[in-house]
Amino acid sequence: MKARVTVTLKTGVLDPQGKAIEGALKSLGIAGVDSVRQGKVFDIELAGHDAVAAEAALKTACEKLLANTVIENYRVEIGA
């Protein structure tokens, strides 16, 4: 079973890396870029086929390590 965990900065948390990327995109002349916020994606292979248990395990993983909930939100998606 595959899963994807996405970790993003909470609204209002300053994101200097996102700002720098935004500046670079604008300087490349990419049209229509208003703002950029950067984050992290984790693609995780899971043993077993219990999607509910997998989601619970990954939420624990996010709380314990993958995200720092002081500044970050996370989203867990269970795939095929």
Partner 1 sequence: MKAAVITFPGSNRDGDVAKALKQAGATVAHIWHADTELPAGTDLVVLPGGFSYGDYLRTGAIAGRANIMDATRAHAERGGYVLGICNGFQIVCEAGLLPGILMRNADLKFVCKRQHLTVERTDTPYTNAYTKGQVIDVCIAHGEGNYIADTETLARLEGEGLVAFRYADAQGRVTAAANPNGSQNNIAGIYSPKLNVLGLMPHPENLIDSLTGGIDGRGMFASLMSGKRAA
Nearer to partner 1, 23 or 50 (CB): 23
- Integer Cα distance of 75 and 62 in angstroms: 9
Q: Are 44 and 2 in contact (CB under 8 A)?
A: yes
- Integer Cα distance of 18 and 24 in angstroms: 10
**Which position among 16, 29, 32, 48 is part of the footprint of partner 1 (CB under 8 A)?**
16
CB of 9 to partner 1, least distance (A): 9
Does 14 bind partner 1 (CB under 8 A)? Our answer is yes
Please give the residue ranges that form the binding site for partner 1 (CB under 8 A).
Answer: 13-14, 16-17, 20, 64-66, 68, 70-71
